Copies of this chain bind each other. A is one copy, B any other.
């Protein structure tokens, strides 16, 4: 007898008439007066549970009558076409072994009823058992597999940039400190300052906020690289878009300019969205029906349409000429806010925009200066329905221009010694971008808060589990 995942059975990979075994958890059960029970069993392999039909001739039918949502079972029997509506195949059980009961079914936190998304978040260890978090988990997995596949097929190397860093290059403002010093007995140096030379790494050490600077070292040797790992921000932001711990994808490409990575960002998004549409139709149908009716449509629109390239300077003109009243007034030099980005992507263009060439004063020190001396080769991808989902730039590869920029920004070249080495030895034009993985999962699923698309969200005041 074959034991098979529910997904495989429902996909018709086993013929009706064969005997098959499935294992999973009871989602719902309905007892008929005719002396049989219909048990919906899910095992996480797909959205739909499979229906197991139990006749009262089963030895343990009295136990089966006591089954409730969440109980674990192993059921075997004949696979047959279902007569029920909306069911394709069902199992007529000749044996149902009960593996685990639910203690006090009435107080089971995941009992079969509608729970608020906030309630589920409070039970993060049990919420994967629900329809919505199960679906999020499969879609998240589908997206992550597609990301790796996309880069691998194109000859990129995955690089694990460090999580812990004593490097000062990103600025320590919003970083978490990592230490093994005894907090009740902090060592001090002669001046009375904390003596980090006695800490584990011999220096003050933090959690990374981005792998970009590190991955540039591999880009300028392997040509095409990407990171996919956790990053951290100690921002006290209690919004639906911020997490203290989140996963980021950062490709970095040598011999590339802004146009190269603009195309790469478009290709990547189309590739991973296509994967979800092709592989997770079941989960997407649920999100479309229950969470946001536009999720499939807007993802299909991203796949079908060319992204529009637009210069920042042109965007400012469009916003001014729009005659719209914005909360934040528009003039050249401002950082575009969410209302501006959404007006451009949703109302003006109606498609994703790759916004390019931002004023240098609102962008980071490592971005490549354009010939106008006013803008840098930076880009953001703005998607209808969410706003910015990707940010990137060509990097300043010219040592003299880079050093001048550091000086202008009052940064000390000494702190960037290893980063400068990449420009001293065989420098090449290169460019890359960053994509916050949870924002993509939220966009795809329509789930409003990024806390619900990562297994155990870390936010101010919460690192439970």
Flag if A5 contacts B247 (CB, 8 Å). Answer: no
At the interface, yes or no: A205 with Cβ under 8 Å from chain B?
yes
Which residues between 400 and 433 of chain A lie within 8 Å of chain B, taking CB atoms?
A: 418-419, 421-429
Question: How many copies of this chain does the complex contain?
Answer: 2
Q: With A and B bound together, what is the CA distance between A333 and B109 in angstroms?
A: 42
Q: Which residues of the partner chain B approach A305 to less than 8 Å between Cβ atoms?
A: none
At the interface, yes or no: A385 with Cβ under 8 Å from chain B?
no
At the interface, yes or no: A88 with Cβ under 8 Å from chain B?
no
CB-contact partner of A103 in B70, B217, B424, under 8 A: B424
Flag if A247 contacts B160 (CB, 8 Å). Answer: yes
Given contacts A99-B428, A163-B163, A255-B74, contact A222 B44 (CB under 8 A): yes
Size class of A's contact patch? 35 or more
Q: Which residues of the partner chain B approach A125 to less than 8 Å between Cβ atoms?
A: 217, 418-419, 421-422
Nearest residue (CB) in B for A437 is B160
Given contacts A128-B221, A159-B137, contact A214 B425 (CB under 8 A): no
Given contacts A461-B201, A463-B162, contact A218 B428 (CB under 8 A): no
Nearest residue (CB) in B for A179 is B177
Chain A residues with CB under 8 Å of chain B are 3, 5, 7-8, 23-26, 43-45, 70-72, 74, 99-103, 108-110, 124-126, 128-129, 134, 137-138, 140-141, 144-145, 148, 152, 155, 157-167, 176-181, 183-184, 186, 193-194, 200-203, 205, 207, 214, 217-218, 220-224, 229-230, 232, 234, 236, 244-245, 247, 254-255, 397, 418-419, 421-429, 454-456, 458, 460-465
